[in-house]
């Protein structure tokens, strides 16, 4: 009889907003025990998943599965690049950009079924000043928001939306010099995003044409805009057509040098890091094995797929607003109750 393939599940207990115990129950119920021998490890701190995954790759396990979001995936995947150990994903983050790009289902049960099928693809990854990223990286407003988000103390899409709306009102675009393929260009930009994958997460497609297997970075520059541009930019971000906006410039390259006037924050897969004036971004072709669904091959999405993506984006936004309104209503009601209590005491 063939030996069972070893799979290590790494759980980030603080990712996203959902509890992970139910996911563990589903793994116990659904994982193909004929095929796989499983173990589960919880992370204890930021950076811990890098160490665990690196150990598992040395042991030669078949796959390490991230139960978390893009930050957890980043920590695991950076230890798996150029090894024989594949990355698996059960999406449990706030944005889940890489999982969504790969069309891995958001429902954990269905994501477990994909692991049971066990189809493996080899994808590209990027480096920003030697720090690996798998989804997107960038400078400017999105990096600035990732820094605020990391300090927010609680995670989830609501926190992200709050931060984004609040911060965009105060943010000042910077001037950047970009060197790529022998030419240098200057841009005043609100943000510069480099996509290995097409989206930040939550179906927000900042690099809509990006594919994970072309050996190229998809660079999106958002130039300064006015409040009048916000509705079309938001619509196009979720409609996968932001590259058609007049405030957007896009290009593809293998390597990019970004020069800015002062050091500052960058983000890699949504996590912030301080870097200097010069930032080198490059793509490394076919460096990571990933367990994928059968549909991933059809990356050139058709109109129906785009419509579905758009509806999903709207749904997500709707949920965020409903959650926000519910929370605000609760705060108003609680305040009202307090005031009534005070009044009745007088």
Ligand X SMILES: Nc1ncnc2c1ncn2[C@@H]1O[C@H](COP(=O)(O)OP(=O)(O)OP(=O)(O)O)[C@@H](O)[C@H]1O
Residues near ligand X (CB under 6 A) are 12-16, 43-48, 68-72, 75, 93-96, 155, 201, 270-271
Q: Which is nearer to ligand X, 52 or 189 (CB)?
A: 52
Q: Which is nearer to ligand X, 92 or 216 (CB)?
A: 92
CA angle (285 as vertex; 67, 84 as ends), nearest 5 = 55
The CA distance from 149 to 155, in Å, is: 8
Residue ranges of alpha helices (H) inside 151-302 are 157-168, 230-239
Q: Which is nearer to ligand X, 23 or 216 (CB)?
A: 23
The CA distance from 103 to 114, in Å, is: 10
Residue 273, CA atoms < 13 Å, CB-side half-sphere: 17
C-beta of 104: minimal distance to ligand X in Å?
A: 12
C-beta of 68: minimal distance to ligand X in Å?
A: 4
Question: Both tokens of residue 22?
Answer: 């139910």
Residue closest to 69 by CA, chosen among 199, 169, 253, 238: 199
C-beta of 331: minimal distance to ligand X in Å?
A: 23
C-beta of 95: minimal distance to ligand X in Å?
A: 3
The phi and psi torsions of 197 (rounded to 5 degrees) equal: -95, 175
96: exposed, middle or buried (Cβ count in 10 Å: 0-12, 13-18, 19+): buried
Residue closest to 93 by CA, chosen among 238, 270, 306, 214: 270
C-beta of 135: minimal distance to ligand X in Å?
A: 9
Q: Which is nearer to ligand X, 189 or 206 (CB)?
A: 206
The CA distance from 255 to 272, in Å, is: 21
Q: State the DSSP H helix or E strand holding residue 280, giving kind and residue range, or none if neither.
A: strand 278-291
Q: Which is nearer to ligand X, 155 or 240 (CB)?
A: 155
C-beta of 164: minimal distance to ligand X in Å?
A: 13
Residue nearest to ligand X (CB): 69
Q: Which is nearer to ligand X, 54 or 94 (CB)?
A: 94
Q: Which is nearer to ligand X, 240 or 267 (CB)?
A: 267
C-beta of 200: minimal distance to ligand X in Å?
A: 8
């Amino acid at each position: 009889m063939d030996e069972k393939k070893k799979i290590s599940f790494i759980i980030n207990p603080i990712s996203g907003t959902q509890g992970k115990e139910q996911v563990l129950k589903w793994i116990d119920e659904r994982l193909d025990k004929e095929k796989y021998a499983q173990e589960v490890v919880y992370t204890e701190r930021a950076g811990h998943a890098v160490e665990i995954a690196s150990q598992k790759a040395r042991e030669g396990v078949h796959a390490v599965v991230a139960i978390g979001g893009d930050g957890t995936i980043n920590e695991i995947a950076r230890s798996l690049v150029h090894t024989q150990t594949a990355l698996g994903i059960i999406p449990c983050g706030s944005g889940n950009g890489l999982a969504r790009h790969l069309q891995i289902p958001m429902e954990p049960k269905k994501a477990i079924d994909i692991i049971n099928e066990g189809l493996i693809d080899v994808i590209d990854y990027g480096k920003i000043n030697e720090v690996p990223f798998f989804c997107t990286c960038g400078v400017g407003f999105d990096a600035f928001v990732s820094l605020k988000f990391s300090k927010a103390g609680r995670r989830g899409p609501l926190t992200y939306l709050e931060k984004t709306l609040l911060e965009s009102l105060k943010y000042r675009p910077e001037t950047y010099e970009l060197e790529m393929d022998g030419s240098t260009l200057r841009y005043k930009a609100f943000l510069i995003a480099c996509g290995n994958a097409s989206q930040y997460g939550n179906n927000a497609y900042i690099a809509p044409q990006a594919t994970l297997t072309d050996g190229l970075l998809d660079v999106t520059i958002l130039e300064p805009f006015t409040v009048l541009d916000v509705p079309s930019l938001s619509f196009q971000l979720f409609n996968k057509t932001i590259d058609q906006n007049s405030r957007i410039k896009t290009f593809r390259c293998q390597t990019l040098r970004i020069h800015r006037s002062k050091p500052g924050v960058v983000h890699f897969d949504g996590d912030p890091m301080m870097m200097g004036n010069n930032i080198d971004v490059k793509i490394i072709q076919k460096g990571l094995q990933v367990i994928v669904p059968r549909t991933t091959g059809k990356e050139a999405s058709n109109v129906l797929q785009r419509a579905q993506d758009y509806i999903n984006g709207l749904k997500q936004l709707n949920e965020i607003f409903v959650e926000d309104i519910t929370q605000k209503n609760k705060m108003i009601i609680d305040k009202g109750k307090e005031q009534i209590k005070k009044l009745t005491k007088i």
